[in-house]
Amino acid sequence: MTQDELKKAVGWAALKYVESDSIVGVGTGSTVNHFIDALATIKADIEGAVSSSEASAARLKAAGIPVFDLNSVDSLSVYVDGADEINHHKEMIKGGGAALTREKIVAAVAKKFVCIVDESKQVDILGAFPLPVEVIPMARSYVARELVKLGGDPVYREGVITDNGNVILDVYNLKILDPKTLEKQINNIVGVVTVGLFAARGADTVLVGTQTGVNTIE
Ligand X SMILES: O=C[C@H](O)[C@H](O)[C@H](O)COP(=O)(O)O
Binding site for ligand X (CB under 6 A): 27-31, 81-84, 94-100, 103
Q: Judged by CB, which is closer to ligand X: 31, or 166?
A: 31
Smallest gap from Cβ 61 to ligand X, in A, equals 19
Q: Which residues are annotated as a binding site?
A: 28-31, 81-84, 94-97, 121
Q: Judged by CB, which is closer to ligand X: 141, or 216?
A: 216
Q: Which residues are annotated as a binding site for substrate?
A: 28-31, 81-84, 94-97, 121
Q: Active site includes 183?
A: no
Q: Which of 85, 91, 103, 146 is catalytic?
A: 103
Q: Judged by CB, which is closer to ligand X: 70, or 142?
A: 70
Position with the least CB separation from ligand X = 29
Q: Judged by CB, which is closer to ligand X: 47, or 63?
A: 63
- As a three-state string, the secondary structure of the chain is CCHHHHHHHHHHHHHHHCCCCCEEEECCCHHHHHHHHHHHCCHHHCCEEEECCHHHHHHHHHCCCCECCHHHCCCEEEEEECCCEECCCCCEECCCCCCHHHHHHHHHHEEEEEEEEEHHHECCCECCCCEEEEECHHHHHHHHHHHHHCCCEEEECCCCCCCCCCEEEEEECCCECCHHHHHHHHHCCCCEEEECEECCCCCCEEEEEECCEEEEEC
Smallest gap from Cβ 31 to ligand X, in A, equals 3
The catalytic residue positions are 103
